[in-house]
Amino acid sequence: MKSNGVPQDIKSLPTLIQIKAAIPTYLFETNLLFSLYYVVKDIALIIGLCASLMVLEWILPASCMCIVLPIYWYLQGTMLMAVFVLGHDCGHGSFSKYETINDVFGTVLHSVVLTPYYPWKISHRNHHKHTGNIDKDEVFYPVRKEHENGNNFAYLFGLGFGWFVYLWRGYHPRNVCHLNPLEPMFSNHVTGCTLSIASLICWVGCLYIYACSFGLWELLKYYFIPEMVFASWLLIVTFLHHIEEKTPWYSDDNWNYVKGALSSVDRNYGWAHDVIHNIGTHQIHHLFSRIPHYNLEDATRHFRKNFPELSRVKNDKIFPTLVRMYKKFSSQFRIGNETKVHVYT
């Protein structure tokens, strides 16, 4: 039996080992120098955008800034998304071979985008461990009727604000506060979570000092509005990686790792695809999260060549797709308590 090209019968699927054998081993190797290059490049671009805005404010009349500022906010927010993805690589261990280096850089990079690194690292690993599992996945899963009193619409309706709502209270009904190191999910990682939250508090303190020194508008203009653009990017990308027509979600007793990973969707984000480090190349990332972002495209080419019937690729325009799938999601995400496989139609 097939759905959208992906076999639903577990016996007809290749094993993870079989899929891995089709991908050259060198694509699984991390390179710290490559990762540092991307960190330096992204930071340089962020600084360059700030400097460019300062120069434009100095040489252009105030009437022109209503055009310049939205462009700056969009570009800078996209760059903050790129920084987040580098921190995301740290959480997966694909930034370097060294866990301490990964955690140090991940903490710094994620703090810069107002994300508690270690708590999110743990909850995100839960997402990867249970991708496509109705009963155990982390976010945007279908909700059974027994939990239907919760309202998950705000996560998308609020866009950037929705990301911070998720960090604060998780996703109904499996609620987790990423700012509480004593959450049961973090019970074996209290020290790492506490240090990440402390780093985040230090960064917020720096932002407060900046606002006191230069004014609230300067903080909003240069940082906080781009931060909301980043958060919107993240929420949209996460949603569209796992919500699409005929893309299955499985009950726990009807799920396994390969089925879940193959239920994710590859999307291309146009001019921003490479800028945000190929995070839209998502199927192979879910199958093998240790593959560094700079090898995802090559690994995906090998995967599609050897398993074309398993590929889920959508190249529709992003905003119309978001509107289309949000409408379907909002009307179909509530499911019966006994549902085994759920697809959006």
Q: Does residue 154 surpass a pLDDT of 70?
A: no
pLDDT for the residue numbered 147: 78
- Phi and psi at residue 290, to the nearest 5°: -80, -5
**Spatial distance between the Cα atoms of 228 and 253, rounded to a whole number of angstroms:** 38
More confident residue, 11 or 19: 19
**Spatial distance between the Cα atoms of 158 and 153, rounded to a whole number of angstroms:** 8
Please report where in the chains the tokens 């480090």 appear, as a residue: 277
Q: How confident is the model at residue 12 (pLDDT cuts 50, 70, 90)?
A: confident
pLDDT for the residue numbered 157: 60
Read off the pLDDT of each residue in 68-88 and give the average, rounded to a whole number: 98
pLDDT in tens, 171-213: 989 999 999 999 999 999 999 999 999 999 999 999 999 999 9
Q: How confident is the model at residue 160 (pLDDT cuts 50, 70, 90)?
A: confident
Q: Does residue 267 surpass a pLDDT of 70?
A: yes
Read off the pLDDT of each residue in 304-317 and give the average, rounded to a whole number: 94
Q: Does residue 11 surpass a pLDDT of 90?
A: no
More confident residue, 156 or 340: 340
Q: Does residue 7 surpass a pLDDT of 80?
A: no
pLDDT for the residue numbered 3: 41
pLDDT in tens, 112-137: 999 999 999 999 999 999 999 999 99
187, burial (CB in 10 Å: exposed 0-12, middle 13-18, buried 19+): exposed
**Spatial distance between the Cα atoms of 124 and 262, rounded to a whole number of angstroms:** 17
**Spatial distance between the Cα atoms of 268 and 278, rounded to a whole number of angstroms:** 8
pLDDT in tens, 268-289: 999 999 999 999 999 999 999 9
pLDDT for the residue numbered 152: 59
pLDDT for the residue numbered 2: 40
Task: Give yes or no for a contact between 335 and 142, defined as CB atoms under 8 angstroms apart.
Answer: yes
pLDDT in tens, 41-61: 999 999 999 999 999 999 999
The mean-pLDDT minimum among 24-33, 145-154, 189-198 falls in: 145-154
pLDDT for the residue numbered 16: 96
